[in-house]
Amino acid sequence: MTQIISMSMDEKTLHELDTLQDDLGLSGRSETIRQCIRLFATEQKQSRTMKGDVDGVVLVMHPDEHTENVSTVRHAHQGIIKTQIHHHLENHSCLELFINKGPAETVKRLMGGIQKDKKITLAKLIVV
């Protein structure tokens, strides 16, 4: 059974949704949202099933003025972060890579600390 839901979003997010729809050649906003949910659900499933020690890379993008907040999360997890690369982009944003090795639960907490921050524009965990 299909349920109809109502959503509200700001103009910037709506524009991003429409751009995604066009880029992916999808039939409408609903299909685009479904595709995004499927992708995010797959990532969350991977996170839920991680066990033991994991090697991975955390990719983070954020506004330049938000570096201190990301640094706070990084310091809280310095036991698993083996290498950090911080790069200033041209649009006053930063790209950070955290190469990490450690218990899956600690890696999940690192990601949780990053993902809950509304000023983070991208947070992606890649497990190798």
Among 69, 75, 73, 78, CA closest to 99: 78
Beta bridge partners of 59: 97, 124
Chain-centre distance for alpha carbon 127: 13
Residue 58 has which token pair? 């955390």
Architecture of domain 51-127: 2-Layer Sandwich (3.30)
Going through 12-120 in order, the beta strands assigned E by DSSP cover 53-63, 81-88, 93-103
Per DSSP bridges, beta strands 53-63 and 93-103 are antiparallel
State residue 128's pLDDT score.
80
Q: Write out the chain's pLDDT in tens, 128 residues.
A: 889 999 999 999 999 999 999 999 999 999 999 999 998 898 888 888 899 999 999 999 999 988 888 888 889 999 999 999 999 998 899 999 999 999 999 999 999 899 888 889 999 999 88
Domain boundaries, the chain: 11-47, 51-127
pTM equals 0.73
